[in-house]
Amino acid sequence: MRRLVAVGAAILLVGVWAALPGRSAPVYLPQQTVVIARDISSVVSLDPQVSYEIGDPDLLSYSNLVQFRHGDLTHPQPSVASSWTSSADAKTYTFHLRPGIKFAGGNVLTSADVVYTFERAVNIPKDPASWLITQMGIDPKNVDQVVKAPDPQTVVVSLPEPFSPGAFLSIMANTVAGIVDSKTVRQHVTNNDWGTGWLVDHSAGSGPYQIARWERLVTIELVPNPNYNLGPAPAIKRIVWPNIQENTVQRNMLARGDADIARDLSASQLAALKREAGFYVAQIPDLGEEYLGMDVKNVPALGKAQVRQAVKYALDYDGIVRELLNGNGLPLQSIVPKGLFGYDPAMPYKHDPAKAKALLTEAGFGGGFSVTMLAPSGTAAGGVSSGDLASKIKNDLEAVGIHVSIREVAGSEMYQTYRAQKSEMVLANWYVDYPDPDDFSKPFGDYKQKSLCWRLQYYNDPLAALVDQAGGLENTPQRGALYKRINDMMNQDGPFALLYQPMVSYAVSKRIQHFVFDPVNDIDFSQMTKQ
């Protein structure tokens, strides 16, 4: 018994001692450290040519030939390339590299590194990001011919076929084209893996930061690149992304000062936070959209254009945007979202149940029909729970006689069904890969891409031809007119009911100054300071 008491006392003592406030000596002070609470569970690698789920760590540790700055997503700015020219046929691009750029490891960046970067992108097997490069017709066999380095400061890219110039330069600014230090990476190649095993949690770039620590499902940490010479050294010395999956916990950390920025707060949490001192909510329209997809074969009723229109009239867009999203989204009925060339502000569909019923009767479905709606578990675009959004849509559709059963499943299952053309109705979203209207019109309108409209078995040849034509043009009024036509066709006949354009919203502590961000580059740390 005495032993028991002694053990108990020991435990108590340790507990008391542990509960005493203590202070450790960090390498970087809290004023130099920014903590971003975010769910990073889906991040599987920080290799720039592989990473797809998160942009910031790669955009901060690597530099690209060109970059977008200060939220201007239509005019790429010089970065590693000080200047470039393009041929009239939109096939050949010549980049002139800035001399003397240094990688974090000390090597000097040359055209050989750019060539190696392209080779990596097309050669890494089962690479989620590679399609951004391969869609331009570059593959492991022709990459030597397509990307050439006539001298250490010049890179020439000669595409085998014309590709939209806007889209090409946008992709060059994407993480997938982040230039790696070929000498360093080659030292870490094992089993012909192009260094992917090593680059998972190391960086070899020329950006302002480098990766200090990455543990999947746990944390990402960046510290400054001591050799950075493409711009002034940033004031923030350490950036940490702990993996916080519950948004309530993200909000807790923000409230306690353990996090400076929270990324995944729900629409109503953001609304509540706006009323609190000490924080601000930074919002801009995201380049993406939440949509309801309708399979035109699996559900006979949805095969009729009038029924698809009826669904579009049945939805209470205002209720969704104003109430469910608490303003964390904008009305959107254009395939190309606001902020990109080709956006169409027209809103042809309003909540009109009477009209929806009339259209259903006209199509011969006055008695209604049944459909299963697939929704991914978790959060929909704009920080509203997927279940809530699905329930709201079910409510609206049932009001006009369409019976909906909701199936909320893991994303891996939903997209499997959707990709196999086996869905009936899906609640999903699409976000920008590169800021060009082509990135939206192709998946939504061109079934030959085997993307969104193909998954819904909607094969519209005239539409696909228009999309293809618009894709190859520069941003001229002619291109604008084409997107207007594409959008009208999609609204009239297409298998998508666009629900809204979400906002990118960050809850930020007022200790942070100069918080600048845009939906493509995310947070800009170059000007940021912290008190």
Restricted to residues 39-78, the positions that interact with other proteins (CB under 8 A) are 41, 44-45, 52-53
Determine, following the binding rule CB under 8 A, whether residue 175 of this chain makes contact with other proteins: no
The count of residues interacting with other proteins (CB under 8 A) is 90
Within residues 428-467, the interface with other proteins by CB under 8 A covers 428, 430, 433, 443, 449-451, 454
Determine, following the binding rule CB under 8 A, whether residue 255 of this chain makes contact with other proteins: yes
Q: Which of 64, 164, 225, 266 binds other proteins (CB under 8 A)?
A: 266
Determine, following the binding rule CB under 8 A, whether residue 200 of this chain makes contact with other proteins: yes
Within residues 285-324, the interface with other proteins by CB under 8 A covers 316, 319, 323-324
Q: Which of 144, 161, 258, 474 binds other proteins (CB under 8 A)?
A: 258
Degrees to nearest 5, angle at CA 462 with 456 and 465: 95
Determine, following the binding rule CB under 8 A, whether residue 123 of this chain makes contact with other proteins: no
Determine, following the binding rule CB under 8 A, whether residue 33 of this chain makes contact with other proteins: yes
CB nearer to other proteins: pick between 78 and 411: 411
Determine, following the binding rule CB under 8 A, whether residue 115 of this chain makes contact with other proteins: no
Within residues 358-387, the interface with other proteins by CB under 8 A covers 377-378, 385, 387
CB nearer to other proteins: pick between 280 and 454: 454
Task: Please give the DSSP secondary-structure letter assigned to residue 203.
Answer: -
Determine, following the binding rule CB under 8 A, whether residue 94 of this chain makes contact with other proteins: no
Residue found by looking up tokens 């200047």 in the block: 83
Determine, following the binding rule CB under 8 A, whether residue 35 of this chain makes contact with other proteins: yes
37 Cβ partners below 8 Å, 6+ apart?
A: 242, 244, 249, 250, 253, 254, 259, 261, 262, 263, 264
Could you tell me the smallest distance in angstroms from the CB atom of residue 215 to other proteins? Answer: 7
CB nearer to other proteins: pick between 95 and 163: 163
Determine, following the binding rule CB under 8 A, whether residue 419 of this chain makes contact with other proteins: yes
Could you tell me the smallest distance in angstroms from the CB atom of residue 147 to other proteins? Answer: 20
130 Cβ partners below 8 Å, 6+ apart?
A: 49, 121, 122, 124, 176
Determine, following the binding rule CB under 8 A, whether residue 139 of this chain makes contact with other proteins: no
Residues 336, 85: Cα–Cα separation, whole Å: 28
Determine, following the binding rule CB under 8 A, whether residue 511 of this chain makes contact with other proteins: no
Number of H helices, E strands in the chain: 19, 24
Q: Which of 88, 89, 126, 192 binds other proteins (CB under 8 A)?
A: 126
Determine, following the binding rule CB under 8 A, whether residue 131 of this chain makes contact with other proteins: yes
Q: Does residue 345 contact residue 334 with C-beta atoms inside 8 Å?
A: yes
Q: How many CA atoms lie within 13 A of 309 on its CB side?
A: 18
Which two three-digit tokens encode residue 36?
């971003």
Q: Which of 162, 353, 368, 411 binds other proteins (CB under 8 A)?
A: 411
Angle between helices 477-493 and 438-445 (to 10 degrees): 30
Determine, following the binding rule CB under 8 A, whether residue 280 of this chain makes contact with other proteins: no
Degrees to nearest 5, angle at CA 397 with 458 and 424: 35
Could you tell me the smallest distance in angstroms from the CB atom of residue 145 to other proteins? Answer: 22
Segment interacting with other proteins (CB under 8 A) among 17-25, 170-178, 347-355, 470-478 = 17-25
Within residues 318-337, the interface with other proteins by CB under 8 A covers 319, 323-324
How far, in Å, are 111, 195, 509 from residue 101 at the CA level?
11, 22, 35
Q: Which of 388, 468, 488, 493 binds other proteins (CB under 8 A)?
A: 388
CB nearer to other proteins: pick between 1 and 88: 1
Q: Which of 235, 253, 282, 473 binds other proteins (CB under 8 A)?
A: 253
Return the C-alpha torsion angle 288, 291, 294, 295, nearest 10: 30
Segment interacting with other proteins (CB under 8 A) among 120-128, 174-182, 183-191, 360-368 = 120-128
**Contact string 463-502 vs other proteins (x = CB under 8 A):** ----------------------------------------
Q: Does residue 487 contact residue 344 with C-beta atoms inside 8 Å?
A: yes
φ, ψ dihedrals at 308, nearest 5° = -65, -40
Residues 251, 245: Cα–Cα separation, whole Å: 11
**Contact string 210-249 vs other proteins (x = CB under 8 A):** -----xxxx---------------------x-xxxxxxxx
φ, ψ dihedrals at 120, nearest 5° = -60, -50
CB nearer to other proteins: pick between 446 and 524: 446
Determine, following the binding rule CB under 8 A, whether residue 252 of this chain makes contact with other proteins: yes
Determine, following the binding rule CB under 8 A, whether residue 412 of this chain makes contact with other proteins: yes
Within residues 143-172, the interface with other proteins by CB under 8 A covers none
How far, in Å, are 227, 366, 481 from residue 478 at the CA level?
46, 42, 5
Residues 149, 160: Cα–Cα separation, whole Å: 17
259 Cβ partners below 8 Å, 6+ apart?
A: 35, 36, 37, 242, 244, 250, 253, 509
Q: Does residue 45 contact residue 176 with C-beta atoms inside 8 Å?
A: no
Length of the chain measured in residues:
531
Residues 229, 41: Cα–Cα separation, whole Å: 33
Return the C-alpha torsion angle 184, 185, 186, 190, nearest 10: 130
CB nearer to other proteins: pick between 105 and 445: 445
Q: Which of 74, 77, 370, 395 binds other proteins (CB under 8 A)?
A: 395
